[in-house]
């Protein structure tokens, strides 16, 4: 932690995709780059917070002044998040795989000319919901993300209620979103912030501008250090 409006606070951020192993050389993944989550961690550190960033596999440098915990799978991410608590604010920007292979083969699966292998799936833990619904040690402000391709606000509002988080940062990841090149992996984002009070539409901006705005909004909502 350093000087600034978030001095003395612990901010926990998840970022990136998860990799779910199938066998020693294969995994299930998604297109998340980690750019938005890493930008949020950097902005929180710049505002003086102590920041723990729990990140899946990404091709990004560690943000300055942030403690980075690298994980691969959803289950590892949940364990790292729980180990990092308590936190004042938790921001779940990671694109966690919904499913993993029901069984992980201990040896590489062989193409033997016989029947095709089948991939049985099982559900991963929902990290955001698990932390947001904690009775003891729940962070004071829990923020989730919602990437949707249609009915963005309605789905995000339902997600906020279902998961029990305080805010949802919702974005449209469809090809029609208006972001050239797309949101996933791109450098810009257009989001809506969904809180108990309603919906704020933010203008299209770079992922670092969206991060700075989210951190400013957190500071405004939680008050300066002296009032805690």
* The one segment of 27-35, 90-98, 175-183, 193-201 that binds ligand C5P by CB under 6 A: 90-98
Would you state the structure tokens that stand for residue 18, as one six-digit string?
């998860």
Instruction: From 66, 61, 26, 29, select the one nearest 46 (Cα to Cα).
Output: 66
Name which position in 41, 49, 89, 146 contacts ligand C5P (CB under 6 A): 146
96 binds ligand C5P (CB under 6 A): yes
Q: Which residue do the tokens 């350093």 mark?
A: 2
Nearest approach in angstroms of CB 162 to ligand C5P is: 8
Q: Site size for ligand C5P, by CB under 6 A? A: 14
Measured between alpha carbons, how far is 75 from 72 in angstroms, rounded to an integer?
A: 8
94 binds ligand C5P (CB under 6 A): yes
Distance set, CA 138 to CA 93, 133, 171, 195, 222 (Å): 17, 7, 25, 18, 15
167 binds ligand C5P (CB under 6 A): no
Report helix, strand or coil for 128: helix
Nearest approach in angstroms of CB 94 to ligand C5P is: 5
Name which position in 32, 142, 144, 188 contacts ligand C5P (CB under 6 A): 144
Q: Which residue do the tokens 């440098």 mark?
A: 61
**DSSP H helical ranges for 94-195:** 127-132, 152-163
Considering beta carbons, is residue 40 or 128 the nearer one to ligand C5P? 128
92 binds ligand C5P (CB under 6 A): yes
Sequence ranges of the binding site: 98, 108, 125-128, 145, 159, 163
Considering beta carbons, is residue 1 or 195 the nearer one to ligand C5P? 195
Alpha-carbon dihedral angle through residues 174, 153, 196, 228, given to the nearest 10 degrees: 10
**Does residue 30 have an active-site annotation?**
yes
Q: Which residues, other chains included, contact 82 with Cβ-Cβ below 8 Å and sequence gap of 6+?
A: 131
Considering beta carbons, is residue 40 or 66 the nearer one to ligand C5P? 40
Catalytic residue numbers, as ranges: 30
* Interface ranges with ligand C5P (CB under 6 A): 14, 74, 92, 94, 96, 124-128, 144-146, 159
């Amino acid at each position: 932690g350093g000087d600034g409006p978030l001095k003395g606070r612990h901010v926990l951020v998840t970022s990136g995709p998860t990799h779910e192993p199938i066998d020693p050389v294969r995994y299930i993944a998604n297109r998340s780059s980690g750019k938005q989550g890493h930008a949020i961690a950097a902005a929180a550190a710049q505002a003086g917070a102590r920041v723990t960033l729990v990140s899946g596999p990404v091709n990004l440098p560690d943000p300055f002044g942030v403690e980075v915990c690298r994980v691969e799978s959803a289950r590892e991410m949940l364990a790292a998040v729980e180990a990092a608590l308590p936190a004042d604010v938790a921001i779940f920007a990671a694109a966690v795989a919904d499913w993993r292979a029901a069984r992980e083969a201990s040896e590489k699966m062989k193409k033997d000319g016989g029947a095709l292998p089948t991939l049985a799936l099982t559900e991963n833990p929902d990290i955001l919901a698990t932390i947001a619904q904690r009775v003891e040690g729940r962070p004071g402000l829990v923020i989730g993300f919602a990437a949707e391709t249609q009915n963005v606000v309605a789905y995000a509002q339902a997600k906020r209620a279902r998961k029990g988080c305080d805010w949802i940062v919702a974005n449209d990841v469809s090809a029609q979103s208006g972001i050239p090149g797309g949101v996933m992996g791109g450098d810009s984002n257009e989001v809506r912030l969904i809180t108990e009070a309603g919906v704020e539409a933010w203008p299209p901006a770079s992922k670092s501008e969206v991060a700075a705005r989210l951190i400013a909004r957190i500071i405004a909502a939680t008050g300066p250090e002296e009032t805690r």
